[in-house]
Amino acid sequence: MALGRRYAHGMRPLRYSINITLDGCCDHRACPANEDLHRHTAETLGRADALLFGRVTYEMMEAAFRPQAGAKEGPDLTDPFVQTINAAKKYVVSSTLDRVDWNAELVRGELGKAVQQLKNQPGKGLYVGGVKLPLALAELGLIDEYEFVVHPRLAGHGPTLFAGLSKYVDLKLVGRQELAAGAVAMRYEPRR
């Protein structure tokens, strides 16, 4: 199911997507990956022309998916998700990293202003993943679309989303898609 979406004219929407279990665990190890999930994630990333990561997510994704010269093992470079994430422009929000590569650039300064500047640039959208950075972006009202890929699993532990959010963020459903193995991707927009 997909419903019409509206974003400020001329502004790249900031879309957030994360995998979670039925009991709300968002630890990436708790949600099993499969070909259908990678296909869906590649399509989600394809709706953006740049990725926005915090340091932890950037380092985790780089370690998992960046091809390493001379490595005997590594990511499947024929996987559409791996191809998409390796080719994508990346922005990394960090006060501790001195430099980044892997087609990435550091974002410095006041978070709200810096992200708003990225949103004001022409393009089809920005994608953000992770846990801590999206919490800060939700507090600032900068996320235009939330996607939760809910997996039919109970973890009984792990980090949960938006822990510490200081206000309610009311959402309206704009899309729903069933994936293999029973996962359901639900897309929401903030009610403004």
The token pair that represents 55 in the structure block: 């340091």
Q: How far apart are the first and last CA of the chain?
A: 21
Residues recorded for the chain: 192
Share of the chain above pLDDT 70, in %: 90
* Residue type at position 165: L
Give me the mean pLDDT over the 90-96 stretch: 96
Question: According to the model, what pLDDT value does residue 9 have?
Answer: 58
Is the model's pTM score more than 0.85?
Answer: yes
Question: According to the model, what pLDDT value does residue 3 have?
Answer: 42
CATH class of 14-190: alpha beta
Question: According to the model, what pLDDT value does residue 28 have?
Answer: 82
pLDDT beyond 60 at 1:
no
Question: According to the model, what pLDDT value does residue 69 have?
Answer: 62
User: How are strands ordered across the β-sheet holding 126-128?
Assistant: 104-107, 89-93, 50-54, 126-128, 14-21, 145-151, 184-190, 171-178
Instruction: Identify the bridge partners of residue 15 per DSSP, sorted by sequence position.
Output: 127, 145
Average pLDDT score over the chain? 89
Q: What's the CA gap between 151 and 138, in Å, rounded?
A: 23
Question: According to the model, what pLDDT value does residue 2 have?
Answer: 45
More confident residue, 8 or 95: 95
State the CB neighbour count (10 A cutoff) for residue 44.
21
Question: According to the model, what pLDDT value does residue 120 have?
Answer: 96
- Name residue, tokens 């509206």: 6
Model pLDDT for residues 167-179, shown as the tens digit of each residue: 999 999 999 999 9
Q: What's the CA gap between 180 and 162, in Å, rounded?
A: 26
